[in-house]
């Protein structure tokens, strides 16, 4: 899981570096298109045929829009802040699980969710400047949509879908969705010899991070893996300070700590289905 956290952090760095040449939709398109190249060889033993195409479609659409918002936030907010807002997905996943299976909301879980949203308030205000509040709210929306995507991933896992197939159909959906978006917008900057390594690195880091994360959740103890998943935020904070001299006030760090701790606890308290 630490490998996945490091690779997701690298993905965030590459998105921020590519923002000067490409829009958020373009970065999602290239990340997904090149990701297909890396995941295709892994499908030889599993194949592409699936009876659960609806689950893949909903996972793909929610995950694609979440990623477009997430990439936009990376380009406008400190890297660690953008990733933390996206990682509120675990809190939203808990709420979605409770609603979907009509589980009762007990006091420990209620307190945990309230703690997490208190962290969100601390991170959004007064950490962010006025002109960053809208990107911050969009980052929170990316966390909500990522929660929907994670819920679909969990259901696909219960149905026995292999990780490589789930990653493949997500990349395929994201590639087609953003291709249509870019055609309608008539904005597409072709890769050059200078930008091609960045785009290939973006596709590779994201794809192998997804595969490593899926493998970790399948083979490792869920409690340990869920804690290590938040290592992405630590790597992002280090990258942000090293490459862009990004700093946060004490309230921002406190908000991040509350979001991380509540997310870990929520995952442990969420009923398993």
**Residue bearing tokens 């309608």:** 184
Distance CA 128, CA 120 (A): 11
Distance CA 41, CA 79 (A): 32
Q: Count of domains in the chain? A: 1
Lowest mean pLDDT among 47-61, 94-108, 155-169: 94-108
Q: Of the ranges 68-77, 97-106, 178-187, 196-205, which one carries the lowest mean pLDDT score?
A: 97-106
Interval 81-93 mean pLDDT? 84
In this model, does residue 206 exceed pLDDT 80?
yes
Say if residues 56 and 232 touch (Cβ distance below 8 Å).
no
The model's pLDDT over 38-67, given as tens digits with 9 standing for 90+, comes to: 888 878 777 788 888 888 999 999 999 999
Q: Write down the mean pLDDT value for the chain.
A: 83
Which backbone phi and psi does 202 adopt, to 5 degrees?
-65, -45
Average pLDDT over residues 127-136: 72
Choice between 157 and 268, residue whose per-residue pLDDT is larger: 157
Examine the pLDDT at 273 and tell me if it is beyond 70.
Answer: no
pTM to 2 decimal places: 0.86
Lowest mean pLDDT among 2-16, 153-167, 214-228: 214-228
Say what the pLDDT of residue 71 is. Answer: 94
Domain span at 158: 2-269
| Beta-carbon contacts of residue 229 (< 8 Å; ≥ 6 apart) | 1, 4, 5, 87, 213
Mean pLDDT of 126-150: 82
pLDDT of residue 205: 93
pLDDT, average across residues 156-162 = 84
Whether 202 shows a pLDDT value over 80: the answer reads yes
- pLDDT for 20 equals 87
């Amino acid at each position: 899981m630490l490998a996945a956290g490091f690779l997701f952090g690298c993905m965030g760095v590459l998105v921020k570096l590519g923002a000067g040449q490409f829009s958020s939709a373009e970065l999602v398109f290239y990340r997904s298109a090149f990701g297909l190249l890396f995941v295709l060889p892994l499908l030889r033993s599993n194949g592409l045929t699936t009876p659960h195409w609806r689950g893949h479609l909903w996972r793909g659409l929610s995950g694609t829009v979440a990623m477009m918002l997430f990439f936009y936030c990376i380009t406008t907010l400190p890297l660690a802040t953008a990733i933390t807002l996206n990682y509120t997905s675990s809190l939203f996943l808990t709420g979605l699980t409770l609603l979907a299976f009509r589980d009762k909301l007990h006091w420990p879980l209620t307190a945990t969710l309230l703690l997490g949203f208190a962290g969100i308030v601390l991170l959004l205000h007064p950490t962010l400047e006025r002109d960053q509040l809208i990107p911050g709210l969009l980052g929170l929306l990316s966390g909500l949509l990522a929660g929907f995507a994670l819920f679909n991933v969990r259901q696909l896992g219960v149905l026995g879908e292999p990780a490589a197939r789930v990653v493949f159909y997500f990349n395929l959906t994201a590639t087609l969705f953003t291709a249509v978006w870019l055609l309608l917008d008539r904005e597409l900057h072709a890769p050059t010899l200078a930008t091609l390594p960045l785009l290939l690195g973006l596709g590779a880091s994201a794809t192998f991070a997804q595969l490593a994360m899926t493998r970790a959740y399948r083979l490792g103890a869920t409690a340990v893996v869920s804690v290590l998943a938040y290592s992405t935020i630590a790597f992002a904070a280090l990258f942000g300070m090293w490459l862009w001299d990004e700093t946060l006030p004490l309230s921002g760090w406190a908000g991040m700590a509350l979001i991380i701790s509540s997310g870990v606890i929520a995952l442990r308290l969420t009923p398993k289905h």
